[in-house]
Amino acid sequence: MPEYKAPIRDIQFLLHEVLSSEDRYKALRGDEDVNRELIDAILEEGAKFCENELAPINRSGDEEGCGFDDGVVTTPAGFKEAYQKYVEGGWPSLSSPEEVGGQGLPYSMGIVMSEMMGTANWSWGMYPGLSHGAINTVEAHGTPEQKEVYLTKMIEGAWTGTMCLTEAHCGTDLGLLRSKAEPNADGSYSISGTKIFISAGDHDMAENIVHIVLARLPDAPKGTKGISLFIVPKFNVKGDGSVGDANGVTCGSIEHKMGIKASATCVMNFDNAKGFLIGAPNRGLNCMFTFMNTARIGTALQGVAAAEGSFQGALTYAKDRLAMRSLSGPKCPEKDADPIIVHPDVRRMLLTQKSFAEGGRALTYFLAAQADIAFMSKNEEEAKEADDLMAFLTPIAKAFCTEMGLESANHGVQVFGGHGFIREWGMEQIVRDTRIATLYEGTTGIQALDLLGRKVMLTQGQLLKNFTKIIHKFCKDNVDNEAIAQFVAPLTKLNKEWGDITTQIGMRAMQNQDEIGAASVDYAMYSGYVTFAYLWAQMAKVASDKLAEGTSEEAFYKAKLQTANFYFKRILPRTRTCVETMSGGLDTLMDMEEDNFGFY
Instruction: State residue 290's pLDDT score.
Output: 66
Q: Are residues 436 and 459 in the same domain?
A: no
Rounded to whole angstroms, the Cα distance separating 427 from 413 reads 6
Q: Are residues 436 and 509 in the same domain?
A: no
Predicted pLDDT of residue 2 = 83
Tell me which of 403, 407, 428, 441 is the catalytic residue. Answer: 441
Establish if 245 belongs to a structural domain. Answer: no
Is the separation of the CB atoms in 487 and 540 below 8 Å?
yes
Instruction: Report in angstroms the alpha-carbon separations of 140 from 214, 289, 390, 464.
Output: 16, 11, 17, 27
441 is catalytic: yes
Q: Which helix (H) or strand (E) holds 210?
A: strand 208-215
* 461/412 same-domain check: no
Q: Is residue 69 part of a domain?
A: no
Give me the half-sphere count of Cα atoms (radius 13 Å) on the Cβ side of residue 342: 17
CB atoms within 10 A of CB 528: 26
Q: Which domain holds residue 405?
A: 288-448
Statement to judge: residues 539 and 436 lie in one domain: no
Closest CA to 220 of 162, 164, 280: 280
Is residue 294 domain-shared with residue 435, that is, in the same domain? yes
As a dihedral over the C-alpha atoms of residue 320, residue 321, residue 325, residue 331, rounded to 10 degrees, the angle is 0
Same domain, 378 and 516: no
From 427, 448, 469, the end of a domain falls on 448
The predicted structure's pLDDT at residue 291: 62
For residue 435, which phi and psi values (nearest 5 degrees)? -60, -30
| Pairing of β 228-233 and β 265-278 | antiparallel
Q: Same structural domain for residues 438 and 474?
A: no
Helix 107-120 × helix 344-376 angle, to 10°: 150
**CA 280 to CA 217: how far, in whole Å?**
11
Do 378 and 487 fall within a single domain?
no
- Of 395, 421, 448, the residue at which a domain comes to its end is 448
Q: Rounded to whole angstroms, how far apart are CA atoms 58 and 77? A: 10
Q: How many domains does the chain have?
A: 2
151 within a domain of the structure (yes/no): no
Give the H or E element holding residue 331: none
d(CA 383, CA 392) in angstroms, rounded, equals: 14
- State the pTM of this model: 0.97
Residues 6 or more apart whose Cβ sits within 8 Å of residue 418 = none
Same domain, 523 and 436: no
Backbone angles phi, psi at 210, to 5 degrees: -100, 110
Whether residues 380 and 525 fall in one domain: no
CATH number at residue 428: 1.20.140.10
* Mean pLDDT split into 10-residue runs, the chain, 600 residues: 93 98 96 96 98 98 97 97 98 92 94 98 96 90 95 96 90 80 98 96 98 95 91 97 97 98 98 97 83 81 98 98 96 96 98 98 97 94 96 97 98 98 97 97 95 98 98 98 98 98 97 97 98 99 98 98 98 98 94 95
Amino acid at 424: E
Final residue in a domain of this structure, among 425, 448, 471: 448
Q: Residue 181 domain-assigned? A: no
Question: Does residue 177 lie within any of the structural domains?
Answer: no
- Both 331 and 432 in one domain: the answer is yes
For residue 328, tell me if it sits in a domain. yes
User: What pLDDT shows up at residue 285?
Assistant: 83
445-496 pLDDT, tens digit per residue, is 999 999 999 999 999 999 999 999 999 999 999 999 999 999 999 999 999 9
Q: Looking at the structure, do residues 437 and 508 belong to the same domain, yes or no?
A: no
Pairing between strand 208-215 and 228-233? antiparallel
Residue 296 has a pLDDT of 86
Asked if the structure places residue 76 within a domain, the reply is: no
Give the single-character DSSP code of 267: E
Torsional sign, CA 462, 463, 465, 466: positive
